[in-house]
Structure 1
């Protein structure tokens, strides 16, 4: 999402802000004030099934690709697995209470496909659906909107054995699964996300092999993107047909991160455009515009059958945007698409995962959605940061860096809203310190600390800070 004109404009704005001494805060309200959000702005949080549920072999759940992957030697840091995760399967009431005490009004959780359909298709596991039934009721009892996401990376291993996202048949299987879940929860859950970050699944799971299922290759990556796009379109159409009169809002969740040339150099610009096409536009453009990006058009033409793009291009009621940082790209002959990550501008803050802290990149994404994609209703469905959490004198984590990260990104979004961006809500990533995929449990994104031995939950300072943001429907500028 970075045309040459947009890049130059955004780069100039970033340089101006830096000269003013503080990025987003320089555009915020005066020191000590509160930056308010519109009435009805939706505050909440997001999680995902494999990262928090645990109970991987209970009540009929089948294995997922992440069960297989995490148990393979050397795939995940410290040999960690999601077998226990945060034990949310048994402690969901406690977690819902934590959301309610903070005043959250929405919870995006993912439904584990292998918990509902252990073989991916066929016989429904009633006990699996029962869990999401209980969770939905618990949320509504605390005045929290359930936002089910139908796929957040934990593909049934039985379907991977049939090719996974490289098998076109999975588009129909996913649609059937979506209808199964909606038939049980759709009388109460009204907001439905189809996929979470399909480009990330394809790049890391089917291109680089760093995530489950560990497949590699450029062609595999692009095929996995196209098949997920097709499955998403089939599911959107099926749920729209089934949901007439039920008040459902249908959408999906994409990771959108601006791709910038390292150092702003012209020589690096083609690499940044290629990576933008792979990461951002290969999923966004066919959904909204019905075309694949020019840089990859020939590749996708070989994968696309008549009618595919019409199936993929579906009306959506909302777009979930997951944003963490920009992607600074330069040529790399060894890269999957001839590109590779480089350094952000000198002086850029970093998280503990070494990700750049660039809140103005979120405003950039929102402006591009406004200018080039029809300004769809947007919910920030993930935004958060990993930092080294240290227990302070109070006996809990005093995570000022995480608070600053969230504050600056919220202020960036609010500024974009002033300029016309159609942002409707904010779902923090994430409630609990969880299983962070290939990083295992050594990364901490949560507002709540989880003791790995006892599973005890302890809210961090960021939890209280976020609760105040929700209560006041505004973000303090310092």
Structure 2
């Protein structure tokens, strides 16, 4: 669908939720300020060669101090929801035990600021910034971290649960566990498949066990988890490539979806990972399958795979498609992939509600002399993905919200500040925020 066929807000249900997404480590800065403890990302950034531009999150977008103007900008756009995450080390500098009152007070102010601006707070409890001290005791490979997460969840939801009614336990377990413990790309920087599988299990377990805690402390709360999911196609129609697609999908998508929807871990994937399979205690799978109110889906790009005997435990490898449009990150731009993914989730798992908790793109943004950012590729990306979202809705997929990633350019993990995902440009030297053309359009769309 071309950009001139972009949908209007009126094409969506009146109660559809429109938002922007952010995360604590990526925007807050204020490193060790006001009693905040060290996170695994603080430590990871100190290791030479880990972050592409050698940067860190110590200042980032200085949102810790500039949050009123960021919320003003969100309100000005016309969004009615704001997704943010809480920095665990701000609340419990040691991961457990002593509570840092200044950290809780910051999120009090932030949430009150959202409500004053009629922004519905959507809180993510874990967006990857594990307290470093917990990592030194094994991080997510240790079952003790599950108990620590419940302690943290209880403290945060008791404090904010009277005002925050939408809770996401975890953001993208694939990235925090697979990229962090196996692919050696994200903090804490490990390369063990067994560690990654055990970490995944503990993250999912902590999600399931946290749900009753959240419900107890936040009456009438809506609770879910956010997964990064990919529509996958085979490089050919050969039996080998189709089998590779199924294997790859087993680790990429079904490994998370199946247990969350009460099916346990996929048997075919467990067989392929062999000795790297996680240790599971009686009752774990029942806890992981605790009913949620929504499934958060982050969609960025599709994947194509082929059979490859040397391609890791799934014996599959990704195929580079030729002649497709790509973002600055090299990710394929595929609005149709969003339709395919959402309809597949609906068909196979029937979640009561889907929230599109992240969708966005990075391009080489240039600030003009007039102080504008003409990001026509991102603008087109946004328009076409909203058209695809409308298509999925028309096909009966119960999507109830869209959160653009991200409100601000920010610290993009291992890429540092080289990638700009914001609909607002951040001049890091002056901390000035400038709405890009994509952001201006999103505001127009929301105010139609």
Say whether 1:48 aligns with 2:23.
Answer: yes
| Residue in structure 2 matching 1:210, options 185, 190, 210 | 185
Change (3 A) 1:242 1:187: closer
Distance in 2 (alpha carbons) for counterparts of 1:200 and 1:295: 22
CA RMSD of aligned residues (A): 1.7
Contact 1:321 / 1:378 at 8 angstroms: preserved in 2? Answer: yes
Map Cα deviations across residues 25-54 of structure 1 (whole Å, 9 max, x no partner). Answer: 4xx9x8587471111111011111100000
Contact 1:225 / 1:282 at 8 angstroms: preserved in 2? Answer: no
| Worse overlay, 381-390 or 275-284 | 275-284
Shift of 1:336: 5.8
Shift of 1:261: 1.9
| Residue in structure 2 matching 1:457, options 407, 429, 433 | 433
**Residues 274-293 of structure 1 correspond to what in structure 2 (within 5 A)?**
274-293=247-266
Map Cα deviations across residues 67-90 of structure 1 (whole Å, 9 max, x no partner). Answer: 000110000011011111110001
2:364 is matched with which residue?
A: 388
Change (3 A) 1:117 1:366: same
| Residue in structure 1 matching 2:350, options 374, 395, 400 | 374
Structure 1 residue ranges without an equivalent (≥5): 1-23, 473-478
SS of structure 1 residue aligned to 2:191: coil
2:208 is matched with which residue?
A: 233
1:38 is matched with which residue?
A: 13
Contact 1:236 / 1:314 at 8 angstroms: preserved in 2? Answer: yes
Say whether 1:256 aligns with 2:232.
Answer: no
**Residues 162-311 of structure 1 correspond to what in structure 2 (within 5 A)?**
162-243=137-218, 246-298=219-271, 299=274, 303-311=279-287
Change (3 A) 1:284 1:382: same
Change (3 A) 1:241 1:187: closer
Shift of 1:439: 0.5
SS of structure 2 residue aligned to 1:442: coil
SS of structure 1 residue aligned to 2:33: coil
Contact 2:124 / 2:168 at 8 angstroms: preserved in 1? Answer: yes
Contact 1:47 / 1:431 at 8 angstroms: preserved in 2? Answer: yes
| Residue in structure 2 matching 1:425, options 370, 378, 401 | 401
SS of structure 1 residue aligned to 2:407: coil
SS of structure 1 residue aligned to 2:388: helix
Distance in 2 (alpha carbons) for counterparts of 1:317 and 1:31: 33
Distance in 2 (alpha carbons) for counterparts of 1:130 and 1:384: 31
Contact 2:255 / 2:266 at 8 angstroms: preserved in 1? Answer: yes
1:349 is matched with which residue?
A: 325
Distance in 2 (alpha carbons) for counterparts of 1:86 and 1:387: 19
Shift of 1:273: 2.1
Structure 2 residue ranges without an equivalent (≥5): none
Contact 1:111 / 1:151 at 8 angstroms: preserved in 2? Answer: yes
SS of structure 1 residue aligned to 2:419: coil
Change (3 A) 1:453 1:391: closer
Could you state the TM-score of these two structures normalised by the residue count of structure 2?
A: 0.95
Distance in 2 (alpha carbons) for counterparts of 1:180 and 1:220: 28
Distance in 1 (alpha carbons) for counterparts of 2:236 and 2:363: 26
| Worse overlay, 325-334 or 169-178 | 325-334
Could you state the TM-score of these two structures normalised by the residue count of structure 1?
A: 0.89
Distance in 1 (alpha carbons) for counterparts of 2:74 and 2:227: 24
Change (3 A) 1:231 1:169: same
Shift of 1:302: 5.1
